[in-house]
Amino acid sequence: MDFVIWSFFRAIRSISAIRNMNHWKYILGVLSLAVSLVWLAVITGPDDKLHIIACDVGQGDAILIQMGTNQILIDGGPDNKVLNCLGSNMPFWDRKIELVVLTHGDADHVTGLVEVFERYDVNSLLVSELRASTQVYQALEKAVGGREVRILRPAIGKEIRLGAIRLDMLWPASWAVGNEGAQVLGSATTNKPLNDFSIVLALRYRDFDALFTGDIGPKVSDQLAGALALNRAPGSGSWEYLKVPHHGSKNGLTRELLTAIQPQIAVISAGKENRWGHPHQEVIELLGDQVNQVLRTDLMGMVEVVTDGDKIWLK
């Protein structure tokens, strides 16, 4: 450290010998800017906690999961508001997202991802083989195709590890996708609503469990409830976090799934005064009976839950 300090002051003395005062001021300005950027990076650097941020993107889904310098983005919302969420939560010097998940191809989940791929370096994309035949989905395929992005496909039982975070894939089943149309170059198309083909993920971090459900409907919700009830040992405790499916629609969450996971916190991503009336009153009442905290982006804006793997708090 003494050598570094000595070298720094020696460099200053050398600079002071420069006769051109404008050159001297320029160098001091560059040095000041460099020092400021270093301190800003230190101050704004990430902590060692797990952050789950339901971005305020209006009527849609975009969830940023961040731990240290690792980020997972689940969906991108209906427009480019997701960029504001990324910009305000990721360190300004971090332009890489380790994993993007597109739960399904509806516009309120996919649109913002086009610009995300344009502006950030994305390592991997988890996306179903089931394509949406829309212009915005084609724009996303074009944006992804022009970059070196690892494409991952969902399969029940498969897991992804990112540092201390583990993601378990719970849905869709391969047979559910395989039954939809002919396979062409590894992709399938369907005329059915894409909601029930949403990728569903369980996040595990130490003693913290979270469930991300996309826009699944009641049939899949009940199937998950049965599977989770079988796989989770009695008395092992409740889940800590639930992303309520389909923006709190009555055509999403069921009592069976809620009972199976008994979440402490339920988060609803919906737009203020949206034309579908989400979240529906039936779901609000259902959650009110069984959940300690119900958090809504239409009322609160961005919702951030933080955990050290043991304790949980809102930021």
Bond into 279 cis (ω within 30): yes
Per-residue pLDDT at 29: 63
Cα–Cα dist 108/136, whole Å: 10
The tokens for 166 are: 């583990």
Per-residue pLDDT at 194: 85
CB of 295 closer than 8 Å to CB of 287: no
Report the phi/psi class of residue 75: left, alpha or beta, with left for phi > 0 and alpha for psi in -120 to 50: left
Q: What are 13-54's pLDDT values in tens digits? A: 555 554 555 666 666 665 565 555 444 444 556 899 999 999
Q: What are 253-312's pLDDT values in tens digits? A: 999 999 999 999 999 999 999 999 999 999 999 999 899 999 999 999 999 999 999 999
CB of 166 closer than 8 Å to CB of 203: yes
Cα–Cα dist 177/186, whole Å: 11
- Predicted TM-score (pTM) of the model is 0.83
DSSP letter string over 104-162? ---HHHHHHHHHHHHHSEEEEEEE-SEE--SHHHHHHHHHHHTS--EEE---TT-EEEE
Cα–Cα dist 303/315, whole Å: 8
Q: How far is CA 223 from CA 162, 171, 248, 257, 290, in A?
A: 27, 10, 18, 8, 20
Cα–Cα dist 167/161, whole Å: 6
pLDDT grade for 173, boundaries at 50, 70 and 90: confident
- Tell me the three state secondary structure of residue 192: coil
Place of tokens 């923006």: 247
DSSP 197: G
> Residue 170 half-sphere exposure, CB side, CA atoms within 13 Å?
25
Average pLDDT value for the chain: 86
